Structure 1
């Protein structure tokens, strides 16, 4: 079997075609948003919201409602509760996130345990990329397209918000509204990615592509290109690997992205660990080679120049 056959063989199945479509859409949307999340420092926020949607997903399965409706409702509820606890008490944001997401996650586990026949906990926790029905795929496509469009339209304001909130406020940009918009987009993006990798691994799609791109470039505009490209390549590689090695699809997708991050961490031209060590050793070797040789004896006073000698003779 040649390389072309290896690439085309999985595509003969409709469930694999849907898996590739959903994975690519989720990867692009998550990668775009991850660029801002890395700069703002909202890694824990993504983790909290992704766990908090569990009861919404469970309720959607129980009552037969669309998957995205239940997940999005509880994602927005989690955002609202975190903000309420933070703004109405002495509790800090990270503590509020920990309280809210654990409470909602526990509520979801109770719902799943009470209705085991209607809800497959493994699909919720680790995704069901190979078993996505056409209706759920359409939901992912619609939500993904809306989220990506908003991110691209508001990219300048969101970038200003991420880099300098004080300057954004000074030029008339509403920092509070941008923060709320970013939280809503985070909630919608989590709903998009849940189908691909589940509740547990969704934070990897939200953080790893942006972190990888951050190591590869110093320009934010390039991050917005590099992150989706890396995410799409990693997702397709992970799906192919899961198909041929009969492994967890969501796990292979996240593992492929982790390998890409490890490569950037070690070998990035500007910020790679091994690259910087090699550059320092090379600079040290160049400095040692170019240093002049010094004698061990006492320093000799330089001989006077001919011009100095001539001036002394004239003075005499």
Structure 2
């Protein structure tokens, strides 16, 4: 018991690890909440697009010597808003528009990068995260931005759920779908930007999507899903950091591997929707039933 307690408390003896744990766990909570809406809506690709579209903003920030996070946030937000505007054309599916802007943003980032010698060091921390180098100021920024984001998500929760389940019904009810699209894309952008230091640009999509996907497998009720996803994200982030400290391996990669391991366990053992549940007598799962459960859970 003493050895276990010592293992759990040892990382907290270091100030840089305490900051890392706080940011990682806050990122897990924020991404879990926002990711639940992303998974419910079936738009994981937007997370990938936004996470990569911050690339040109970071490159520009490096060239003109201003804060990399601010540059990335501006670029990600502009891309998200562009996707929301162009996706209103019903001739184009949302994932098509996302693919166009995803490629364009990444291409622009590469062009800017090629004109900025000496960028490789900063690029590495951007791509793979720098969670052990987080300052007290970074912790405060993540805490404030995360709290504001969670309050905003709570304020438009019911409307977002309605749009996710049926856009046409939402329009008939007088809900301004376009504004909610912009709101969701903006929240995805902010969640991704505040999580970049924890896991980096390449892996941030996993923190946004995987905990919510785990929760989606575990329950049919949206309220429970919205509670499970941030819990899974927070615990996975803390566990990944503990393993990183114990094994002296990359923190961002281990956080993602832990969340993936949780997903695999859920995929196999989830009570109603896991692989093993298919072989249980009396299992009568159906998409219609799932849809009814979701509607019942959103009220």
TM-score bucket of the superposed structures, by smaller chain: 0.7 to 0.9
1:205 paired residue among 196, 204, 207: 207
**Which whole-Å CA distance do the structure 2 matches of 1:139 and 1:270 have between them?**
40
Corresponding residue number in structure 1 for 2:32: 31
Structure 2 counterpart of 1:108: 109
Contact 1:209 1:228 in 2 (8 A): yes
Q: Deviations over 1:176-214 (max 9, x none)?
A: 111111111111111111111111111111111111001
Contact 2:84-2:182 within 8 A present in 1 as well: no
Q: CA contact under 8 A between 1:68 and 1:139: conserved in structure 2?
A: no
Structure 1 residues not aligned, in runs of 5+: 284-316
Deviations along 1:36-89, whole A, 9 cap, x unmatched?
Answer: 111111101110110010111222234332233111110111123334554579
Larger Rg: 1
Partner of 2:124: 122
- Contact kept, 8 Å, 2:214 with 2:266, in 1: the verdict is yes
- Which stretch of structure 1 is more off in the superposition, 212-221 or 8-17? 8-17
Q: Which range moved further: 234-243 or 100-109?
A: 100-109
Q: Bigger shift: 109-118 or 168-177? A: 109-118
Cα gap change, 1:211/1:177 in structure 2, threshold over 3 Å: closer, same or farther?
same
Question: Are 1:76 and 2:77 counterparts?
Answer: yes
2:196 equivalent in structure 1 = 194
- Per the normalisation by structure 2, the TM-score is 0.87
| Alpha-carbon separation, structure 1, partners of 2:172 and 2:228 | 31
- Of residues 132, 136, 147 in structure 2, which corresponds to 1:134? 136
* Residues 1:233 and 2:240 aligned together: no
Alpha carbons of 1:153 and 1:78: their partners in 2 closer, same or farther (altered >3 Å)?
A: same
Q: Name structure 2 gaps, 5 residues minimum.
A: 285-299
8 Å Cα contact 2:53-2:76 kept in structure 1: yes
Calculate the aligned-residue CA RMSD, in Å. Answer: 2.2
Using the size of structure 1 for normalisation, the TM-score is 0.83
Q: Deviations over 1:227-248 (max 9, x none)?
A: 1111111110000001111111
- The answer (yes or no) to whether the contact 2:69–2:193 under 8 Å persists in 1 is yes
